Amino acid sequence: MKTVENAAVVSMLNLTDDVRDMTIHCPVIASEAKAGQFVELYPDNGVNLLARPISICAIDAENGNIRLVFRIVGKGTEIFSRLSAGDKIRVLGPCGNGFSPGEGRAVLVGGGIGVPPLLETCRQLKGEKTVVLGFRDKSDVILCDEFEALGAKVYIATDNGSLGFKGNVVELMKSENITGDMIYSCGPKIMLKFLSDYAKERGIACLVSLEERMACGIGACVGCVVKIKDGDGWTHKKVCKDGPVFDGREVIW
């Protein structure tokens, strides 16, 4: 069940130059939220009308809080970045299907601001966990130590080689021959496409969390579609309601 809450900001931290770590108090949403779901944050400035979809990085149902790690990419996220503890923000959620973390050897693959939703997923996974994170530069690296604290083996790739493997996450996985039973991933579409190919070649199941421009976040506006295989053809599925998590083999990239 989704709801709209007027959430209080509990804390606001800077993780990098343009990535913020915001915890908000929204007990109803926190009690319903699952790993890999997202919330819709409203700028509420009278000009930027549409809510911004932000993935849930961590859920603290006991205290009624959710943690949102987001990059400042436009007007909406810039407005959110100026909030501080005690401020209020209107939030709708939880939205989407989420990851449903299962058994077996898990490989979590994140690129840039696609990394945050994997943290709650990682926390809920019971078995062996391998985490592969890709960033542009070492100054963009986020949440790495938190994955390690959850007992995961963490690999880092940076585009310029300033930290860890030089290259992208898929190249890193090839070079380290990383495998498992299920891949949970979120990141740029091009990364997810090559990751799905990698998974397919090696017979690994691969879940991808997608993003798209959306207006309502609940499935009514039909704005945020992605092409998904349907028999011999394809159909438009909604990222906000049918996703954001899809089977990588089903997505037409």
Interacting residues toward other proteins by CB under 8 A: 1-4, 42, 46-51, 92, 212-216, 218-226, 235-236, 241
CA distance 242 to 135: 28
Q: Is the peptide bond before 53 cis (omega within 30 degrees of 0)?
A: no
Q: Which is nearer to other proteins, 102 or 219 (CB)?
A: 219
CA distance 168 to 107: 16
Q: Which is nearer to other proteins, 173 or 214 (CB)?
A: 214
Q: Which is nearer to other proteins, 49 or 61 (CB)?
A: 49
In eight-state DSSP terms, residue 177 is T
Q: What is the nearest approach in angstroms of other proteins to the Cβ of residue 42?
A: 7
Q: What is the nearest approach in angstroms of other proteins to the Cβ of residue 148?
A: 35
Q: Which is nearer to other proteins, 6 or 160 (CB)?
A: 6
Query: Count H helices, E strands: the chain?
Result: 6, 16
CA distance 35 to 204: 21
Q: Which is nearer to other proteins, 5 or 140 (CB)?
A: 5
Query: Which candidate, 175, 197, 170, places its Cα nearest to that of 253?
Result: 197
Do residues 197 and 173 touch, judged by C-beta distance below 8 A? no
Q: Which residues pair with 235 in a beta bridge?
A: 228
Q: What is the nearest approach in angstroms of other proteins to the Cβ of residue 9?
A: 20
Q: Which residues pair with 239 in a beta bridge?
A: none
Q: What is the nearest approach in angstroms of other proteins to the Cβ of residue 92?
A: 7
Q: What is the nearest approach in angstroms of other proteins to the Cβ of residue 235?
A: 7
